[in-house]
Amino acid sequence: MANRTIIKVEGLNLFYEELQALSNVNLDIAEKEITAFIGPSGCGKTTFLKCINRMNDLVPGCVIEGKISINDVDIYGNINVDMLRRTVGMVFQKPNVFPMSVYDNIAFAPRGHGTRKKADLDALVIDSLTRAGLFQEVKDRLHKPADELSRGQQQRLCIARALAIGPEIILMDEPTSALDPISAEIIEGLCRELKENYTVLLVTHNMQQAARVSDKTAFFLLGQCLEFGETSQVFSHPQNEEFQKYISGKF
């Protein structure tokens, strides 16, 4: 049985002043699946991702038309944006650890949301690091600076930090592009584990990565979503001519 739709995108257009960066995007994204977004640089993948947690609100001159619903709630309606960003966590291309300890990186947001008891924070830190596959590696370094970790460990710390706020959806913007192959493989494995409990949206330039880890794949070009479907289906029987060229290396 197909998973239910958790994110519904209808007629999405996005403008940076006179520049139209997204054009009439319509997608139904299922819960507890990995949906990959692929396409050439500048095609709108990351711009689309940032619509899901309204990070584009922070861009001057940005205008958004259309509708995005999460759990049937219009996220561009009258909602609490802070609560939205607790529902939708984000992991960026390069690890952006805070200049503090491993422990405090995880505890930072929960403290800001009112969790104060040490026992509660301890449990949350351990659980988040365990879910990110990092606890055994850092359990003796929790109070050491986070920037002493390897880059791959730092990226998993950023994933753990996103998990600590209790999201339903995790946005990942090229999370392995700055990592060595072994660290990238670990992150890919972690993504597969995370989809047991979370909905993962993954922007990647790596078509092989999309084929390996995702359940669905969307192909973007010039701000339009030209192909979307089951990953095995779209790679083996692409319907869009531009997507056929893309996966065959013709552009």
Mean pLDDT of 136-151: 97
Give the confidence band of 249 by pLDDT, cuts at 50, 70, 90. Answer: confident
Q: Is the pLDDT of residue 84 over 90?
A: yes
Provide DSSP, the chain.
-PPPEEEEEEEEEEEETTEEEEEEEEEEEETTSEEEEE-STTSSHHHHHHHHTTGGGGSTTEEEEEEEEETTEETTSS--HHHHHHHEEEE-SS----SSBHHHHHHHHHHHTT---HHHHHHHHHHHHHHTT-HHHHTT-TTSBGGGS-HHHHHHHHHHHHHTT--SEEEEESTTTTS-HHHHHHHHHHHHHHTTTSEEEEE-S-HHHHHHH-SEEEEEETTEEEEEEEHHHHHHS--SHHHHHHHTT--
Domain that holds residue 25: 5-247
Mean pLDDT for the chain overall: 95
Q: Is the pLDDT of residue 69 over 80?
A: yes
Q: Is the pLDDT of residue 209 over 90?
A: yes
The pLDDT, as a whole number, for residue 80 is 95
- What does pTM read for this prediction? 0.95
The pLDDT, as a whole number, for residue 200 is 98
Find the CATH number of the domain harbouring 71. Answer: 3.40.50.300
Q: Is the pLDDT of residue 71 over 70?
A: yes
The pLDDT, as a whole number, for residue 2 is 78
Number of domains in the chain: 1
